[in-house]
């Protein structure tokens, strides 16, 4: 429905009131606007600034801003956006009472069981539509609609309608309401978030494919998001690469559901200091940015702390955007290769009449070759540190967990080089090691082996349920959560001495984790002496465990 690709800055992750305790305030919001304008001057394209959750006063029915956080209301923010040619946007909690009191106008729609509001009965939906009109009149153009519950209805309605009828009527009422607003105000945009899918689509990446997305939502929303970024159920030594794989898998799932790539909001670019992005700062942000653009969605969203990007970062950001946004607008974007959640290499093709960009990922714990479409005359433009991908004809060989970009035609020119991602280090080689893991305690596995003399020992530890599907454990969110390193423990001992481990999953992970990966440096061990590896899970529910060992060799020491 958009005439061309657009870019949206969303300030969630610069603050976080759900999986952390950093509040949204006017000061924080204005600081991020200042940073947005700084990046725009450096060439970064940011068309819209969307104010995410909790800007509203709980008893104000979305019509007043929260005090004391916005003592003078939103005028300074709105005026500054509009004066600088930035489209303001607002978040709404679909039909749920998310940190909201029940307004008098909404009482006839209220479902106390679900703490949500019926969309076809009572006064909620007409009042909400007038609220959208009010903010559109003030200058807001983009509306993010989140957390829908289509089973919501007052008890009087539930007594006379089937649950399926309630769901159907709620959905139709929302579609009609958004259509009315679009007809009235053609420049309005709606971004669809949680609750539009039917069934469990986003929680795991090892679920069998099911039809869960009603593509009729494409008539109502400009884009449909495919899940908050979180680790995949494909283990990775580099934690951030696992998050890349999650978003890649969800894009594939939504594509197979019939959603065009241009209409999928992958919501994956999230830098920041809060729990929602696992306090990543800017770790591995370059690969994250490239993939967010390569996936082809025309609503390109960027979340979090823009202040973390310096002048050099801004110049690189602008260069990547200029490459990919041009190709997005041309409209030739496609996926190829395997299914990300199955751990097989895959990629994205973006092409125009002058050439192509091929963005590829190998999520496997192996060196793998992937056949590239449109690869003639290709040249490597970007890759992770360590292993250098090898392009031979139409095949690209990648190290374990590695991503890369290949350019062809005009995009193979040196001026399009994007360099190397130095904070992700890929091994030169990886070799499976034979070792028998035995159950040695409650949710504990152990194996003993004589390790190689050099390199690193990589341990992959997985947890599944009775059906063999990924079983996620979580210790909760910051600031009071428990690190996954406490729940999943991987230890290695030689002669009773504990060997230091290198891990990256030692985080409070709100979405849970079904695996753990650790590495142990072998060069300082006693040659020829046995080494014992222990894997333990503190998961309280029933779970099955398995583990694998690999010998990895790096060209350069990985960053801790």
What does the buried/exposed string (b/e) look like for 508-545 if buried means 16 or more CB atoms within 10 Å of the residue's CB? bbbbbbbbbbbbbbbeebeeeeebbbbbbbebeeebeb
Q: Is residue 558 one of the residues assigned to a domain? A: no
Q: How many domains does the chain have?
A: 3
* Domain stop point among 314, 330, 346: 330
* Domain stop point among 424, 458, 481: 424
Q: Is residue 80 one of the residues assigned to a domain? A: yes
Q: Is residue 560 one of the residues assigned to a domain? A: no
CA atoms within a 13 Å half-sphere pointing along the CA-CB vector of 52: 21
What is the predicted pLDDT for the residue at 282?
98
Residue 409, Cβ neighbours under 10 Å: how many?
A: 17
Q: Is residue 255 one of the residues assigned to a domain? A: yes
- Mean pLDDT for 64-81 is 97
What does the pLDDT look like over 399-436, one tens digit per residue? 999 999 999 999 999 999 999 999 999 999 999 999 99
CATH of the domain at 458: 2.60.120
Q: Is residue 460 one of the residues assigned to a domain? A: yes
Residue 305, Cβ neighbours under 10 Å: how many?
A: 22
Contact 465, 545 (CB under 8 A): no
What is the predicted pLDDT for the residue at 396?
97
Q: Is residue 48 one of the residues assigned to a domain? A: yes
Check pLDDT > 80 for residue 270: yes
Degrees, nearest 5: CA angle 203-204-205: 140
Q: Is residue 464 one of the residues assigned to a domain? A: yes
d(CA 296, CA 286): 17
Q: Is residue 506 one of the residues assigned to a domain? A: yes
What is the predicted pLDDT for the residue at 417?
98
Domain identity same for 214 and 131 = yes
Residue 84, Cβ neighbours under 10 Å: how many?
A: 12
What does the pLDDT look like over 7-26, one tens digit per residue? 999 999 999 999 999 999 99
Domain identity same for 478 and 345 = no
What is the predicted pLDDT for the residue at 557?
77
Degrees, nearest 5: CA angle 389-395-399: 30
What is the predicted pLDDT for the residue at 39?
98
CA atoms within a 13 Å half-sphere pointing along the CA-CB vector of 166: 21
Cα-only R_g, the chain = 25
Domain identity same for 367 and 385 = yes
Where do we find the tokens 């971004």? 191
Residue 15 burial class via C-beta count within 10 angstroms: exposed 0-12, middle 13-18, buried 19 and up? buried
Residue 262: domain span = 6-330
d(CA 265, CA 108): 34
Contact 306, 32 (CB under 8 A): yes
- Mean pLDDT for 51-76 is 97
d(CA 262, CA 256): 13
Domain identity same for 162 and 26 = yes
Domain identity same for 437 and 497 = yes
Q: Report the Cα 515 to chain-centroid distance in Å.
A: 18
Contact 403, 361 (CB under 8 A): yes
Determine the length of the chain. 560
Domain identity same for 302 and 346 = no
Nearest to 356, CA basis, from 420, 399, 294, 415 = 294
Domain identity same for 301 and 197 = yes
* Domain stop point among 376, 395, 424: 424
Check pLDDT > 90 for residue 202: no
Domain identity same for 395 and 439 = no
Domain identity same for 303 and 348 = no
Domain identity same for 115 and 189 = yes
3-state secondary structure 184-230: HCCCCEEEECCCCCCCCCCCCCCCCCCCCCCHHHHHCCCEEECCCCC
Q: What percent of the chain has pLDDT over 90?
A: 94
Domain identity same for 242 and 351 = no
Q: What is the dihedral of CA 345, 350, 351, 354, to 10 degrees?
A: -100
Q: Report the Cα 512 to chain-centroid distance in Å.
A: 14
Check pLDDT > 70 for residue 560: no
d(CA 389, CA 72): 55
d(CA 237, CA 145): 35
Ranking 199-213, 356-370, 488-502 by mean pLDDT, the lowest is 199-213
CATH of the domain at 343: 2.60.40.1180
Domain identity same for 228 and 303 = yes
What is the predicted pLDDT for the residue at 276?
95
Question: What is the enclosing helix (H) or strand (E) of 491?
Answer: strand 488-494
Contact 136, 128 (CB under 8 A): no
Nearest to 504, CA basis, from 325, 284, 302, 264 = 284
CATH of the domain at 275: 3.20.20.70
The rounded mean pLDDT for the chain is 96
């Amino acid at each position: 429905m958009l005439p061309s690709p657009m870019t949206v800055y969303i300030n969630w992750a610069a603050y976080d009131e759900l999986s952390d305790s950093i509040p949204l305030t006017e000061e924080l919001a204005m600081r991020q606007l200042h940073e947005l304008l700084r990046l725009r001057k450096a060439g970064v394209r940011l068309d819209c600034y969307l104010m995410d959750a909790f800007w509203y006063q709980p008893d104000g029915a979305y019509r007043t801003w929260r005090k004391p956080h916005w003592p003078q209301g939103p005028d300074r923010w709105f005026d500054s956006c509009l004066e600088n040619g930035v489209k303001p946007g607002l978040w709404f909690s679909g039909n749920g009472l998310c940190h909201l009191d029940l307004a008098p106008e909404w009482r006839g729609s209220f479902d106390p069981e679900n703490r949500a509001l019926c969309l076809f009965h009572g006064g909620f939906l007409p009042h909400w539509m007038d609220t959208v009109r009010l903010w559109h009149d003030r200058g807001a153009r983009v509306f993010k609609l989140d957390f829908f519950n289509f089973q919501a209805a007052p008890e009087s309605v539930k007594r006379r309608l089937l649950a399926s009828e309630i769901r159907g009527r709620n959905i139709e009422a929302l579609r009609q309401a958004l259509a009315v607003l679009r007809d009235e105000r053609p420049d309005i945009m709606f971004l669809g978030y949680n609750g539009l899918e039917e069934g469990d689509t986003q929680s795991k990446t090892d679920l069998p494919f099911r039809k869960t997305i009603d593509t009729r939502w494409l008539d109502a929303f400009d884009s449909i998001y495919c899940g908050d970024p979180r680790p995949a159920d494909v283990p990775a030594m580099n934690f951030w690469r696992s998050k890349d794989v999650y978003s890649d898998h969800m894009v594939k799932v939504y594509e197979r559901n019939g959603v065009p790539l241009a209409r999928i909001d992958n919501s994956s670019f999230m830098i920041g200091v809060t729990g929602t992005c696992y306090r990543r700062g800017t770790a591995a942000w370059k690969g994250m940015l490239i993939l967010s653009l390569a996936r082809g969605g025309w609503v390109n969203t960027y979340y979090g702390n823009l202040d973390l990007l310096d002048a050099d970062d801004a110049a690189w950001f602008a260069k990547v955007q200029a490459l990919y946004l041009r190709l997005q607008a041309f409209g030739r974007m496609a996926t190829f290769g395997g299914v990300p959640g199955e751990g097989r290499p895959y990629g994205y093709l973006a092409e125009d009449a002058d050439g192509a960009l091929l963005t590829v990922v190998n999520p496997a714990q192996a060196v793998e070759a992937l056949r590239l479409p449109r690869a003639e005359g290709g040249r490597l433009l970007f890759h992770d540190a360590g292993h250098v991908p090898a392009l031979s004809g139409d095949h690209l060989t990648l190290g374990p967990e590695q991503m890369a970009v290949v350019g062809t035609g005009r995009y193979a020119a040196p001026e399009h080089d994007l360099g190397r991602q130095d904070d992700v280090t890929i091994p030169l080689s990886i070799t499976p090691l034979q070792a028998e893991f035995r159950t040695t305690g409650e949710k504990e596995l152990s194996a003993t082996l004589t390790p190689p003399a050099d390199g690193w020992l990589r341990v992959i530890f997985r947890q599944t349920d009775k059906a063999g599907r990924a079983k996620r454990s979580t210790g909760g969110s910051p600031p009071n959560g428990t690190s996954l390193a406490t729940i999943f423990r991987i230890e290695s001992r030689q002669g009773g001495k504990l060997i230091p481990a290198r891990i990256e999953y030692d985080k409070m992970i709100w979405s849970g984790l079904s695996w753990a990966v650790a590495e142990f440096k072998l060069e300082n061990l006693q040659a020829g002496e046995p080494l014992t590896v222990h894997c333990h899970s503190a998961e309280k529910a029933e779970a099955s465990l398995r583990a694998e060992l690999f010998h990895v060799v790096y060209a350069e020491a990985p960053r801790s």
